[in-house]
Structure 1
Amino acid sequence: MENVRTSSTHAVWLMVSIVLIALNLRPSMAAVGPLLSAIRGEVPLNFTTASLLTMLPVMAMGLAMFLGIRVALRIGEHRTILLSLVIIGLATASRLYLDSAAALIISAILAGIGIALIQAVLPALIKSRFSDNVSLFMGLYVTSIMGGAAIAASLSPFVLAETGSWRIGLAIWALLALVALGCWQAQRSAVGPLPEAPGQQQASFFNNRRAWLLALFFGLGTASYTCVLAWLAPYYLEKGWSEQQAGLVLGFLTAMEVISGLVTPALANRSRDKRWVLIALLALIMAGFCGLILSPGRFGLLWPCLLGLGIGGLFPMSLIVSLDHLDNPRRAGALTAFVQGIGYLIAGLSPLIAGVIRDQLGSFEWAWWSLTAAMGLMMLMALRFNPRQYARHLGQAPLS
């Protein structure tokens, strides 16, 4: 298979562009939690309704993920990403002028669609252009996604404090899309079409049990990410912390995600068998949730640290394990699009369920217990990801 790598300079700039794009994939959601108190001061939102600001864009990401590969086949990967950045930028900038819950939710859904189109395309592009170090560069890509969340969660409360406007705190992240748009446009000569998977690139994964197992694994893992993203800051606000403190805790957690997202894939790249790495990451998440429930006031930064290290490594490793199942970049990209599509539909429900639990029971703690149990189930699932059996589950034979 021939890779499109005209020079090391082009490869470096391509990766810089991918990092800038990835920074845009979470601020539209991550900025909401730390600003929720200010938003609720002007817009009538209970916790269940507020959960829609995270749930619906994630659900939109799941549905739009199935369109991403089709759109890329029709207009090309480069134009698909340009279109997506425009959608994200406009949806984010529109929040300067929004004054109702419905308008906020619509902007979140539009941003989710743009995010999904990008996330459907980039894993296949990375596998094609950086085939010798897929784990390393996927880690950098996913880490940049979480880095965007960390920046938005940490700085949005300070934007609110400086400007007195939560709308500016939400809309300012459109500037990131503008920067990424300019850099990606300059890469058009370096981004050619992906290699075809002869005779079967259109084969469906809906009838394949391994594809569904991978999707469920990704969905449950991402459920912990989306739930923490949506409700960790409000959880600390209820414990008496200020908006700035709660935002910084969420920013600290996502900073730990960034560190783990860089280090874990680089270490895991040494072996094709990723099962024990996955189990170790899941154990960190379980310990973080237990500490958050049982002793939120003591060792205050330890629990977000454990959660961040676990979630930050689990997110890229879930995608890397999916990519490892297939050699052809376009085919592997189609699998990760399926895994993310189903996975985000599953994960999108977690903020809503947690919001309902909070409204009904007056506490987020039962939501944290539920996620702890889900991580235990994922440990059993991870044991099944034996790389020696990848060909049997998702080989090159046509799917039934």
Structure 2
Amino acid sequence: MGKKQWTVSLILVVISIFFVALNMRPAVTGIGPLYNVLMTNLQVSNTSMSFLTSIPVFCMGLFAPIAVPFQRKLGTKLAIVLLMVILIFANGLRFFQESYLLLVVTSFAAGLAIAMIGPILNAFIKKKFPQRFTIVIGIYSFGIGVGATLSAALTVSFYQYFDNQWTVALGMWALLAMVALILWSWAIPKEQGADGEELAKNEPARNPWVTGRAWSILLYFGLQTSLFFSMMSWLTPLLQDKGMTLKDASMMLTFMSIVQMIGNIAVPMLMEKWTNRLAWAVALGCLGLIGFTLLWLLSGIYLWLAVLIIGIVLSGLFPIGLLLPLDEARNDQEANSWSSMVFSGGFMLSAIIPVLIGVCYDMTGNHTWTYVIFLALMLGIIATTGLLRKN
């Protein structure tokens, strides 16, 4: 009976991890589907709009290093509870006012919460599921993909259903965060959160900041994350620039997110059988070059093929980025510190690209440089994979 109860409790833990993961993208990716609506309503430039993506992504990097002491001070359970409360307020405040400044402030708060949730959950998964962490990371990654898909699919629907009120469309995501908070608080026993002393007694951990391989993983993570957030922010306006309506462009963004969602769970499962992470990264990098070239050159119905390929690429690159620091970690403390370093530097690096795209578009009035930047990111990922292989 005890074994059965333990199995049920583990399932509940995985479900709660999944629901927390659902909330790690909508506060950021919900902006993209309404990009042109917000820009027109708030009367701001493309560059200013880009900051609404870059600010939370930069915060994800800036605050990731304090995840370790935060977790040690409060324990995993309470730490996630407080961070989810911040996320609820970040989303919920958007209900109340049509304000660019409010969007900036709430984006900052959401980035802070997401920044620390990531490394804490990574280390928790490594510790709780030492033999099956690839599968659980896949479920966690799948949850992030589902959250991004929901934000792509429903934000425009909320906007249209509630009489074109974009404040309601963005604020609705506070409800999803409330569900995750309730489930996490119920499913995770208190003793599992009080793990600060145990972490402190771990064997000495290597400092990732002075380890060359950690820097290579950071660069890989930063490039693939740049690609994800830039696509979630810019795909809708890119497609509208090619003549699509907001509804059709939103449908294609949703399609890409669904492909990512499926891949986020399928790729880690396949990597259980074919375990060479770097071979996967090279193959996906080459496929990405094809996908972005097609997105640049094609139009009409052929764009669906390009978006399908890009969705597959993004779905595989992200879980690899989550797994690489865990593969290197020799203990729980290293799992936390290496993940924090990779997330910190990687997210701060990836905050640059959406703004760069906005600046280039404001200067040129077209998206030629946008496609060049996407292809350069793919080449960078392939080159970084070669560096990791060499190391």
TM-score range, shorter chain: over 0.9
1:363-391 Cα distance to aligned partner (Å, 9 max, x none): 223122222122223213213445xx9xx
Counterpart-to-counterpart distance in 2, 1:329 and 1:176: 30
- Tell me what 1:373 maps to: 376
Alignment of 1:43-192 (within 5 A): 43-164=42-163, 165-189=165-189, 191-192=192-193
- Tell me what 1:270 maps to: 273
Tell whether the 8 Å contact from 2:13 to 2:188 is kept in structure 1 after alignment: no
Among 298, 302, 306, the residue aligned to 1:303: 306
Tell whether the 8 Å contact from 2:96 to 2:167 is kept in structure 1 after alignment: yes
Which amino acid is the alignment partner of residue 81 of structure 1? I
Counterpart-to-counterpart distance in 2, 1:37 and 1:383: 38
- Tell me what 2:13 maps to: 14
Aligned length: 383
1:99-138 Cα distance to aligned partner (Å, 9 max, x none): 2212111111101111111112011111111221221111
- Tell me what 2:256 maps to: 253
Tell whether the 8 Å contact from 2:139 to 2:265 is kept in structure 1 after alignment: yes
- Tell me what 2:35 maps to: 36
The more displaced of 372-381 and 52-61 is: 372-381
Counterpart-to-counterpart distance in 2, 1:18 and 1:377: 31
Counterpart-to-counterpart distance in 2, 1:204 and 1:45: 43
TM-score normalised by the chain length of structure 2: 0.94
TM-score normalised by the chain length of structure 1: 0.92
Tell whether the 8 Å contact from 2:145 to 2:260 is kept in structure 1 after alignment: yes
- Tell me what 2:283 maps to: 280
Unaligned runs of 5+ in 1: 394-400
3-state DSSP of counterpart to 1:138: helix
Tell whether the 8 Å contact from 1:98 to 1:104 is kept in structure 2 after alignment: no
3-state DSSP of counterpart to 2:303: coil
- Tell me what 2:330 maps to: 327
1:290-316 Cα distance to aligned partner (Å, 9 max, x none): 111111334121111111110111001
1:80-106 Cα distance to aligned partner (Å, 9 max, x none): 110111011101010011322121111
- Tell me what 1:198 maps to: 202
The more displaced of 15-24 and 270-279 is: 270-279
Tell whether the 8 Å contact from 1:58 to 1:112 is kept in structure 2 after alignment: yes
Counterpart-to-counterpart distance in 2, 1:93 and 1:170: 8
The more displaced of 291-300 and 74-83 is: 291-300
Unaligned runs of 5+ in 2: none
Deviation, structure 1 residue 272: 4.1
Which amino acid is the alignment partner of residue 24 of structure 1? N
Counterpart-to-counterpart distance in 2, 1:216 and 1:142: 19
Counterpart-to-counterpart distance in 2, 1:117 and 1:216: 19
Deviation, structure 1 residue 176: 0.5
Correspondence 1:337 to 2:343: no
Which amino acid is the alignment partner of residue 68 of structure 1? A
Counterpart-to-counterpart distance in 1, 2:25 and 2:143: 10
Deviation, structure 1 residue 207: 1.6
Root mean square deviation of aligned Cα: 1.8
- Tell me what 1:219 maps to: 222
Tell whether the 8 Å contact from 2:55 to 2:107 is kept in structure 1 after alignment: yes
Tell whether the 8 Å contact from 1:23 to 1:145 is kept in structure 2 after alignment: yes
Counterpart-to-counterpart distance in 1, 2:377 and 2:244: 28
Which amino acid is the alignment partner of residue 262 of structure 2? I
Tell whether the 8 Å contact from 1:61 to 1:113 is kept in structure 2 after alignment: yes
Counterpart-to-counterpart distance in 1, 2:174 and 2:380: 38
Tell whether the 8 Å contact from 2:202 to 2:331 is kept in structure 1 after alignment: no
Deviation, structure 1 residue 187: 2.4
Tell whether the 8 Å contact from 1:283 to 1:310 is kept in structure 2 after alignment: no
Counterpart-to-counterpart distance in 2, 1:224 and 1:174: 26
Please identify runs of 4+ aligned residues in structure 1 that moved more than 4 A: none
